[in-house]
Structure 1
Amino acid sequence: MAAFIAWVLVLAIAAYACAGGTDYGAGFWDLLAGGAERGRRPRWLIDHAMAPVWEANNVWLIFVLVIMWTGFPTMFQAVFSAMWLPLALAAVGLVLRGAGFALRKPTRRLAQRRIYGAVFAISSLLTPFFLGTVLGGIAAGRVKVGTTASADAWANGTSVLVGLLAVAATAFLGAVFLCSDALRYGADDLVDYFRLRALIAFAAVVVLALIGLPVTRNDAGYVRDGLTGGPGLLLIILAAVCGLATVLLLWRRSYGGSRYTSVASVALTVGAWGFAQRPYVLPTSLTVAEAAGAAHTLRWLVIVTAIAIVLVGPALVLLYRLATMGELEELTDADTRAAGVPGDNL
């Protein structure tokens, strides 16, 4: 049961990396869109594309946390004790990001829109970076039971590299999805705009991955060996093939299929990390079996997880499907009760 729950955790992390990562990537491009006039069209598309699903994507993060503290309490305690600072910064960024996105659209004052937009965009960059540094610190073996919080746990070469990879991967996903969204909304001028950015982001992912080979040689040797051999290597190769397929589809302007291949490339990479790290949840100090909670707790967790998959899974799939097909209607000012006031647009 512990091994099953561990793989459910990996799948949940992959789902959050793909679903939430796409939204983080959209926020990243919002940050780089330029000034109010220059960035007006890209930000308009980002608002419309994210609106139907951005809140639902955080369901995966909650799922990850519940599985961690219920199924692997020892791991949960060790990670949150050693990594409380980057995790707190990521949580603050998550809250500020949601508040900025929610408040920017109904606000009519230009100055306030800029403030909310900046909060949303900057948080979309910082949150995946800090989450990536946590994963990097775990992969490097810097988190053990009893480890006290320190900058070395997350401000090291491997952590920074994984943080940057997380940002680049989310930027890649966001740009790929926005290409298709631009086509769907009839914003033909933005299709090539985000197509170019998707190609640049993919190039950044490749460069960072190559840099990671020497960086992780001595710093995260166990996980690195797992990624360069066995099932981990196979999944990395498949992820690379899916990434290259995404580039080819973008080059040929086949934007519908590029969504699936880009998601597959990120999900397979997360799966490769899961294989590379086994049988440990904290390399190389805590195995899955050692970190597992009580047997009766795991049994109930399996039951609840199965029920959640049956009840929530189809609803999320339907939501994503309707969103990508443009079947969900946008909220109007009347729905949000946003009304003009004297001094609007100032």
Structure 2
Amino acid sequence: MTADLIAVVMLLAVAAYACAGGTDYGAGFWDLTAGGAERGKRPRWLIDHAMAPVWEVNNVWLIFIFVIMWTGFPTLFQTLFSAMWLPLALAAVGMVLRGAGFALRKPARRIAGRRLFGAVFAVASLLTPFFLGAAVGGVASGRVAPGTEPSADAWSNPTSIIFGLVAVAATAFLGAVFLAGDARRFEAPDLVGYFRLRALGALAVLAVLAVITLFVIYGDAPYVWHGLTHGLGLALVVVAAVATLATAWLLLRTPGAWSRVTAVGAVAAVIIAWGMAQRPYLLPTSLTVADGAGAPTTLRWLALVTLVALVLVGPAVVLLYWLDTHGELEPLTEADLRRNGTGGDGAADSV
């Protein structure tokens, strides 16, 4: 019972990272496709301002996933990081380069430096979700099992490739939806239409890839196919489809908070549907939740730590997102500093 609970918590953490971190990866995708320096100036300006307050905190979900997997399901951790060390290593390198590129491109004084760091940020934002999606595809296809030796087939098979493409499209979709809402918040009507159009385009691509995915997993991942077309997995697929249609309808009106909710709901429902489709297995047909779980005492302590983290960290993360979406975390500009320094209260002169 405890093992099942921890497995559900891990799945929910994966969904949280796919939505929160995926939104940032999507912003990087649109940074990459924004065009030249002049044409892409305003979209990149919005991306910088929208991401700056929250991009680091989204990695909390990834750390949480690793902690649960390592302590709660050590056999799963060992198997994944042995059989698919290369795509996971590439994804990790991409995360590091992406963060460094984003952090360094704004303070860089030379144009060449800004372009270099910007390119690193944008390209890494494309490659990282692809390799993470490819690793998930390797799991779903059943090619990874305890004792599996590292091989290209584990992560370059049809299911892995289509999952990687779906991951990129999903992050682009989330990023565009959130950026359209941010453009409205920053009172940039030209960028509202700019990102709304791209959100609808990404949604169309994602819908096509979803149909192709069903055909691919029918022949390449039969166990997951059966789970997605029956029971709880099918119900969640329907929820994802309804949320997707609702997002499209909201985007055709005025992008806002509800379009973000439905977009996140669509992506989260797909992630949870995948997890439900392969139950009771962590690795389809080879490693069940019960067989892969750690010692009962470890699981009980892990459940307690998870509860404490939910009580202590959860409200802080929610507050951060709320402050960001309500414009309470805007950075000071040079104009703000000059205005504050020459205010009528004489505070700056008295220092």
Residues 1:53 and 2:38 are matched in the alignment: no
Deviation track 1:62-91 (CA, whole Å, cap 9, x = no partner) reads: 000000000000010000000000000000
Q: Specify the SS of the correspondent of 1:315.
A: helix
Q: How many residues were matched structurally?
A: 335
Match of residue 112 from structure 1: 113
Tell me the distance in 2 between the aligned counterparts of 1:334 and 1:138.
Answer: 52
Match of residue 234 from structure 1: 235
Structure-2-length-normalised TM-score? 0.94
Cα offset for 1:245? 0.3
Percent identity over paired residues: 70
Q: Specify the SS of the correspondent of 2:282.
A: strand
**Which moves more between the two structures, 254-263 or 68-77?**
254-263
Tell me the distance in 2 between the aligned counterparts of 1:212 and 1:260.
Answer: 24
Contact 1:106 1:333 in 2 (8 A): no
Tell me the distance in 2 between the aligned counterparts of 1:65 and 1:94.
Answer: 15
User: Relative to 1, partners in 2 of residues 1:99 and 1:254: Cα closer, same or farther, differing over 3 Å?
Assistant: closer
- RMSD of the alignment, in Å? 1.2
User: Relative to 1, partners in 2 of residues 1:113 and 1:231: Cα closer, same or farther, differing over 3 Å?
Assistant: same
The residue identity in structure 2 corresponding to 1:290 is D
Contact 2:180 2:255 in 1 (8 A): no
**Which moves more between the two structures, 206-215 or 307-316?**
206-215
The residue identity in structure 1 corresponding to 2:202 is A
Match of residue 157 from structure 1: 158
Structure-1-length-normalised TM-score? 0.95
Match of residue 129 from structure 1: 130
5 Å-filtered alignment, 1:112-261, equals 112-261=113-262
Match of residue 303 from structure 1: 304
Larger Rg: 2
Tell me the distance in 2 between the aligned counterparts of 1:197 and 1:254.
Answer: 12
Tell me the distance in 1 between the aligned counterparts of 2:59 and 2:224.
Answer: 27
Cα offset for 1:93? 0.2
5 Å-filtered alignment, 1:315-330, equals 315-330=316-331
Structure 1: runs of 5 or more not aligned: 336-346
Tell me the distance in 1 between the aligned counterparts of 2:291 and 2:52.
Answer: 42
Cα offset for 1:256? 2.2
Match of residue 342 from structure 1: none
The residue identity in structure 2 corresponding to 1:46 is I
Residues 1:10 and 2:11 are matched in the alignment: yes
Contact 1:277 1:283 in 2 (8 A): yes
The residue identity in structure 2 corresponding to 1:102 is A
Structure 2: runs of 5 or more not aligned: 337-351
Tell me the distance in 1 between the aligned counterparts of 2:4 and 2:73.
Answer: 11
Tell me the distance in 2 between the aligned counterparts of 1:183 and 1:131.
Answer: 31
The residue identity in structure 2 corresponding to 1:200 is G
